[in-house]
Amino acid sequence: AQMESSAGVSTAPSFDNGGDNTTVFPLSSSTVLKINKGDISKWFVDGSSDAIVNPANEKMLGGGGADRAIHRAAGPELLDACYKVPEVQPGVRCPTGEARITPGFKLPASHVIHTVGPIYETDRNAASSLKNAYRNSFTVAKDNNIKYIAFPAISCGVYGYPYEEAASVAISTVKEFADDLKEVHFVLFLDDIYNVWLKKAKQLLLP
* Residues annotated as catalytic (active site), given as ranges: 67
Instruction: Locate the DSSP E strands across 45-142.
Output: 50-55, 99-103, 111-115
| Among 102, 109, 117, 184, contact with ligand AR6 (rule: CB under 6 A) | 117
Q: Is the CB of residue 132 less than 8 Å from the CB of residue 72? A: no
Give, to the nearest 10 degrees, the angle between helix 76-83 and helix 65-74. 110
Instruction: Rounding to the nearest 10 degrees, give the CA dihedral for residues 78, 155, 109, 74.
Output: 30
65 binds ligand AR6, rule: CB under 6 A: yes
Nearer to ligand AR6, 190 or 206 (CB): 190
Binding residues among 155-194 for ligand AR6 as defined by CB under 6 A: 155-159, 187, 189-190, 193
Q: Which stretch binds ligand AR6 (CB under 6 A): 35-43, 87-95, 170-178, 198-206?
A: 35-43
The residues in 45-64 that bind ligand AR6, with binding defined as CB under 6 A, are: 55-57, 63-64
User: How many Å apart are CA 156 and CA 101, to the nearest integer?
Assistant: 21
Using CB under 6 A as the criterion, which residues of the chain lie in contact with ligand AR6 when the complex forms? 39-41, 55-57, 63-67, 69, 117, 152-159, 187, 189-190, 193
